[in-house]
Amino acid sequence: MSNTPDFLTTTDLLAKYDVLIDGAEVHGIICGMLCGGMTLDNQDWLAVLTDVSNNSVPFAPELITHLRALYDTTVAQLTDVEFGLEMCIPDTDATLSEQGQGLILWVQGFMLGFGLHQPSLESSSDDVKEGLQDFSEIARMESIEDEDEDTQAQLLTLIEHVRIIAMSCFNECQPARKAMPIETDPTVH
């Protein structure tokens, strides 16, 4: 069982308070800010999220509590030595079209959040630059029409690719990561 607040709960809570983005996009923004170099102890992230997702209208207390839990869980997953990031996107019970749309919105949110904290890629590695180029292409993907096993396998591969790129961005751009040694060859158990 995942510790990440799930997509449906997050999306329903955002809709309840008339925030016009879904759980995938809000999680993508949070991940993008963290992976773009926002310090882990930054206390302004919620205000920034409010600005970019709710036209600076303050979030309701219930939503703030939920988003803080999502943020804390995301930080824990990004800093986990097991590379444990779980994206808040529709799960495999949803149609492939819904899963694909969730991935697209997550990537678009990530790009927004990343850009807020990493305005220049000049000093970034080729891997990060290529990964963000992949994100740019994914963000422009068409909706998935086919509901077959091949499409499902391709989508799962793409989701894992996105997860790995996000972790790479975090490991390269996060100030807390720069201060600690990174295990480049994680042991698989």
Query: pLDDT digit string (tens) for 86-123?
Result: 999 999 889 999 999 999 999 999 999 999 987 677 77
pTM over 0.75: yes
Give the pLDDT score at 184: 43
User: For residue 142, what pLDDT is reported?
Assistant: 85
Given phi > 0 = left and psi -120 to 50 = alpha, else beta, which region is 38?
beta
- The predicted pLDDT at position 9 comes to 95
CATH number of 7-178: 1.20.120.740
Q: How confident is the model at residue 16 (pLDDT cuts 50, 70, 90)?
A: very high
Q: What is the pLDDT of residue 188?
A: 41
Distance between CA atoms of residues 146 and 156, nearest Å: 14
Q: Are 14 and 23 in contact (CB under 8 A)?
A: yes
Copy the structure tokens of residue 21. 């983005």
Least confident of 2-6, 16-20, 63-67, 79-83: 2-6
Residues 146-162: tens digit of each pLDDT? 778 888 999 999 999 99
Which residues are CB-contacts of 155 (< 8 A; sequence separation ≥ 6)? 96, 99, 100, 103, 144
pLDDT at 97: 92
Phi, psi of 47 (to 5 degrees): -65, -40
- For the chain, which residues make up each domain, given as ranges? 7-178
Helix (H, G, I), strand (E, B) or coil at 48: helix
Q: Give the number of residues written for the chain.
A: 189
DSSP 79: T
Model confidence at 179, pLDDT cuts 50, 70, 90, reads low
Dist. CA 169–CA 114, nearest whole Å: 9
Q: What is the pLDDT of residue 177?
A: 66
pLDDT tens string 49-93: 999 999 999 999 999 999 999 999 999 999 988 878 999 999 988
Q: What is the mean pLDDT of residues 161-188?
A: 72
Dihedral of the alpha carbons of 147, 131, 138, 16, in degrees to the nearest 10: 90
Interatomic CA distance for residues 49 and 58, integer angstroms: 10
Closest CA to 86 of 189, 10, 175, 14: 10
Q: If DSSP states are collapsed to H, E and C, what string results for 124-167?
A: CCHHHHHHHHHHHHHHCCCCCCCCCHHHHHHHHHHHHHHHHHHH
Residue 178 pLDDT: 58
